[in-house]
Structure 1
Amino acid sequence: MPVMRAPAEKPDWVTWSNFGFGTVHDAAGFDRHFHDADEYWVIISGRARVLSEGQEYVIGPGDVLCTRMGDEHDILEIIEGPLQTFWFEDELKGPKRPGHLHRPEDEPAASR
């Protein structure tokens, strides 16, 4: 069985475009963003109030936050920190832009 230590080391049959572990101590250091891929956060420890697909959730150990491609998500508050996650982004689609993408501040919500 292959071992992945970096996205470039993935087998051809793995569709993930990116993955990693994250530790967030302060929600202010996290940015509201979206991706050209579906993204999943597996919560290892900590508790937080988050935004995904226009809904607020409180997440904790064992939860998996699932965010569809193009939907903004954010960490609004660390309730019990730090928040530790394993996250992965599925196959890039549409424009296939990697990384955190941001909407222009003047873009109307209806067109998002």
Structure 2
Amino acid sequence: MSVFKSGEQPPDWCELTRFEFVELTGQPRPITVTDQKQRLLVTRGSCRLANGKGAQVLSEGQFCDLEEASGPFAADAGDRTAQVIIFSGSWGTELGGCGIFELTPSTPAWVTGDPVSYPKSTNFDSHYHDCDEYWVIIEGAGTVVVGSRSFEVEAGDCVAIAMGHHHDLPQVWADVKGAYFETTLEGKKRFGHLWDYKHGPANPRRERV
């Protein structure tokens, strides 16, 4: 696992090469497609995404993949404000999920997931994926656990999690709102949260530095 911010270089193994927060206010904002793959995810409010062929309105949690052949693009929030994240990189065609999650401190109840030995104050579950996953912390702060490692994260951090590594968000110090993006499905290409006890042992990918 690695933690990096917008503008910082992620590890070489990451399919996500950069991300950018874009605040939408007033005039339409040009969105330039400069990478092999780009995805726009709405993280607050509603966004109108337009190109020469028309326009669509995306609400919080919805996303659109941006192709250079369909550009140029422009985004606006009408007479309100909105926020989007633009993910850029070189992922494949079969992908996992993408959206928004929120987490608050709570008294842990039993949750579907693999058992853990560390303290928890959330109902988030320990799980793994058949793909790499990226969490971008939009608001709040907490502790992320990946395998045997733990990191403190805050707004603006991107957590890069390699395929097959168990991960969890067991402690929240301020209510967390985050974006998640699961990139190319590999191996058995199962989607969603996977657990040792139900889906079989994870096969963690060795993270290349």
CA distance in 2: counterparts of 1:87 and 1:57, whole angstroms: 17
Cα separation, partners in 2 of 1:3 and 1:77, compared to 1, 3 Å: closer
Q: Which residue of 1 is the match for residue 101 of structure 2?
A: 22
Residue aligned with 1:104, SS: helix
Q: Of the two structures, which has the highest relative contact order with CA contacts closer than 8 Å and spacing of 6 or more? A: 1
Which structure shows the bigger proportion of residues in helix conformation? Answer: 1
Cα separation, partners in 2 of 1:3 and 1:40, compared to 1, 3 Å: closer
Q: 1:88 aligns with which of 169, 181, 199?
A: 181
For structure 2, which runs of at least 5 residues remain unmatched after alignment? 1-32, 34-38, 42-57, 68-89, 106-120, 205-209
Moved more, 21-30 or 82-91: 21-30
**Contact 2:96–2:192 at 8 Å: present in 1 too?**
no
What letter matches 1:37 in structure 2?
C
CA distance in 1: counterparts of 2:191 and 2:156, whole angstroms: 27
Which structure shows the bigger proportion of residues in strand conformation? Answer: 2
Q: Which residue of 1 is the match for residue 157 of structure 2?
A: 63
Correspondence 1:49 to 2:140: no
CA distance in 1: counterparts of 2:137 and 2:122, whole angstroms: 19
Q: Which residue of 2 is the match for residue 37 of structure 1?
A: 131
Percent identity, please: 30
CA distance in 1: counterparts of 2:99 and 2:170, whole angstroms: 21
**How far off its partner does 1:29 sit?**
1.5
Q: Which residue of 2 is the match for residue 73 of structure 1?
A: 167
Moved more, 65-74 or 10-19: 10-19
**How far off its partner does 1:54 sit?**
2.2
- Alignment size in residue pairs: 108
**Contact 1:53–1:67 at 8 Å: present in 2 too?**
no
**How far off its partner does 1:21 sit?**
0.7
**Contact 1:53–1:68 at 8 Å: present in 2 too?**
no
RMSD over equivalenced CA pairs, Å: 2.9
**How far off its partner does 1:53 sit?**
3.4
CA distance in 1: counterparts of 2:103 and 2:201, whole angstroms: 29
TM-score, scaled to structure 2? 0.44
